[in-house]
Amino acid sequence: MKRFGTVALIGSPSSGKSTLFNRISDSRKEITGRQYGITRDRNYGTGHWLDKEFTIIDTGGITDENIPFQREVQNQVELGCQEADVILFVVDGRVGVSNNDMFVAKKLLPYKDKVLLAVNKIDDMTMIGNIYEFYSLGFGDPYPISAEHGLGLGDLLDDVIHRLPEVEEDPYEGALTFALLGRPNVGKSSLANKILGYDRVIVSPMSGTTRDSVDIQFERDGKRYVMIDTAGIKRPGKVEEDLDKFAVVRSEDACRRSDIILLLIDASEGLVSQDVHVSNYAMEYGKPVIIVVNKWDLHSHGQDDQRNFEKELKAYFKFLDFAPVVFISALTGSNIQRIFQALDEVNETIHRTVPSSLLYSVIMKAQMDNEAPNFNGGRLKITYATQTKDVPPTFVIFCNNPNYFHFSYKRYLENVIREQFGFTNCPIKLAIRGKREGIPGQD
């Protein structure tokens, strides 16, 4: 499939931009709902038309009203306009030309040559006359469309594709992808901006500023990364709005798509039960985790304090004892480089392979050193072992009867494999199979 340039969706709040985004990109990535103007950051997706695909950006709704985040939203829209090859100015055909539309039109005048006007919510032919007043905005012939029903999109997308430049293959295909995960207001977006060196994500003292998962591609020290800044995950009892529920779904999806998860902890508040709740999302998908202790600069700490805090972390997150711990300040940028050292180290580990013969010999020695106990009426005998192609590292152990495998002996072998082959900073999986069962994850 040929890859083309970038399209930005611009318009006033609730003009239907996010519905159009979902229609063109064939996804539910953008959070949509009844709350007025809910898109805040620039949200990226992949649009499809015929045999062509392109990058599509949904931006926050622009308004001349004095509402929270509007200045930040307008900054994000400006960046989206600069990045785009084609701008779709989306207006609400049922409302007519509004003050907000005229305000947006003025903002778009510097980019007039790449603007196409889409009059949305024209759901049937009886409404076609509604489009004519939009000529007054000064962007030429408007395209009547219904994003909700998919009407009129063919002509619009034909013109979009005609205007877009063809681009080379995505250079970030296969790049290391990591997600920033944490409860609200622990500093995820501040860390994202510090990593990038500019304000890509809106930052505010208000809890829950980021409501969507935001994918960001960037390079650092000659290496390519994709960073996913997620919405803060609230306690189950606090997830009340539909938007909060959608945000949790998007955070779960970010965990699924990530190679590694950065779990952010707020040092100034200490450890709370919600941190454990958030960590469960990473554990559910078996992802490697790096624990990032943010705001370490707010108090005077020494090396002993770090060691004590890390011990407390390991005790608190009982199933994350493998996770490296990095102490940082997203505000000052202190120790940010250590995050990337940890990312690269963990990434190398999760792609490490062990020859089957060596793996089997190590397990045989472990069995000789510590013989398996009788369990469920029989004694375990291991006959073969191999590593699959799965990530995180997965090892299949074949034995005479899986029912003879006691859980404590499985944990013992996990620890042996970790220590012998250096899988100390990531999760590993052991799959127990009978002698005649197949190997998962193999071609």
Q: 254: domain CATH number?
A: 3.40.50.300
Instruction: Evaluate whether residue 364 is within a structural domain.
Output: yes
Residue 222: its pLDDT value, please? Answer: 87
Lowest mean per-residue pLDDT among 19-28, 61-70, 119-128 = 61-70
Pick from 370, 362, 367: nearest CA to 418: 362
Q: What is the mean pLDDT of residues 405-426?
A: 95
Q: Which helix (H) or strand (E) holds 419?
A: helix 407-421
Domain around 385: 356-434
For residues 24 and 163, membership in a common domain is answered with yes
The pLDDT tens digits for 340-365 are 999 999 999 999 999 999 999 999 99
Q: How many domains does the chain have?
A: 3
From residue 105, alpha-carbon distances to 68, 86, 90 in Å are 21, 15, 10
Question: If DSSP codes are grouped into helix, strand and coil, which group holds residue 442?
Answer: coil
For residues 325 and 339, membership in a common domain is answered with yes
CB atoms within 10 A of CB 96: 12
pLDDT at 213 exceeding the cut of 70: no
pLDDT at 438 exceeding the cut of 70: no
Lowest mean per-residue pLDDT among 145-159, 197-211, 427-441 = 197-211
Share of the chain above pLDDT 70, in %: 80
Using CB atoms within 10 A of its CB, is residue 330 exposed (0-12), middle (13-18) or buried (19+)?
Answer: buried
pLDDT at 251 exceeding the cut of 80: no
The pLDDT tens digits for 270-297 are 888 888 888 888 888 889 999 999 999 8
- Tokens 């103007």 locate to 37
Instruction: Evaluate whether residue 440 is within a structural domain.
Output: no
Q: What is the mean pLDDT of residues 131-156?
A: 95
For residues 265 and 128, membership in a common domain is answered with no
pLDDT band for position 1 (50/70/90)?
low
Instruction: Evaluate whether residue 226 is within a structural domain.
Output: yes
Instruction: Evaluate whether residue 443 is within a structural domain.
Output: no
For residues 346 and 361, membership in a common domain is answered with no
Residue 146: its pLDDT value, please? Answer: 95
pLDDT band for position 73 (50/70/90)?
low
Question: If DSSP codes are grouped into helix, strand and coil, which group holds residue 162?
Answer: helix
Lowest mean per-residue pLDDT among 8-12, 239-243, 325-329, 425-429 = 239-243
Helical axes 188-196 vs 336-350, angle rounded to 10°: 90
The DSSP call for residue 151 is B
pLDDT at 243 exceeding the cut of 70: no
For residues 267 and 149, membership in a common domain is answered with no
Instruction: Evaluate whether residue 109 is within a structural domain.
Output: yes
For residues 277 and 301, membership in a common domain is answered with yes
CB atoms within 10 A of CB 50: 11
| Between 71 and 361, the higher pLDDT residue | 361
Residue 261: its pLDDT value, please? Answer: 96
pLDDT band for position 59 (50/70/90)?
confident
Domain boundary, last residue among 136, 167, 198: 167
Please compute, for residue 410, the number of CA atoms within 13 A of its CA located in the half-sphere on the CB side: 18
For residues 308 and 366, membership in a common domain is answered with no
Q: What is the mean pLDDT of residues 241-246?
A: 52
Instruction: Evaluate whether residue 145 is within a structural domain.
Output: yes
Residues 54 and 124: beta-carbon distance below 8 Å? no
Calpha distance 187→232 (Å, rounded):
10
The DSSP-derived string for 240-304 is: -SHHHHHHHHHHHHHHHH-SEEEEEEETTT---HHHHHHHHHHHHTT--EEEEEE-GGGS---HH
Question: Computed from CA positions of residues 323, 327, 333, 336, in that sequence, does the dihedral angle turn out positive or negative?
Answer: negative
Tokens found for residue 381: 């005998």
For residues 302 and 155, membership in a common domain is answered with no
Number of continuous H segments (helices) and E segments (strands) in the chain: 11, 16
For residues 137 and 22, membership in a common domain is answered with yes
For residues 208 and 342, membership in a common domain is answered with yes
Residue 29: its pLDDT value, please? Answer: 45
Residue 247: its pLDDT value, please? Answer: 64
For residues 365 and 280, membership in a common domain is answered with no
Helical axes 242-257 vs 273-284, angle rounded to 10°: 50
Calpha distance 66→60 (Å, rounded):
15
Residues 181 and 233: beta-carbon distance below 8 Å? yes
Phi, psi of 373 (to 5 degrees): -75, 160
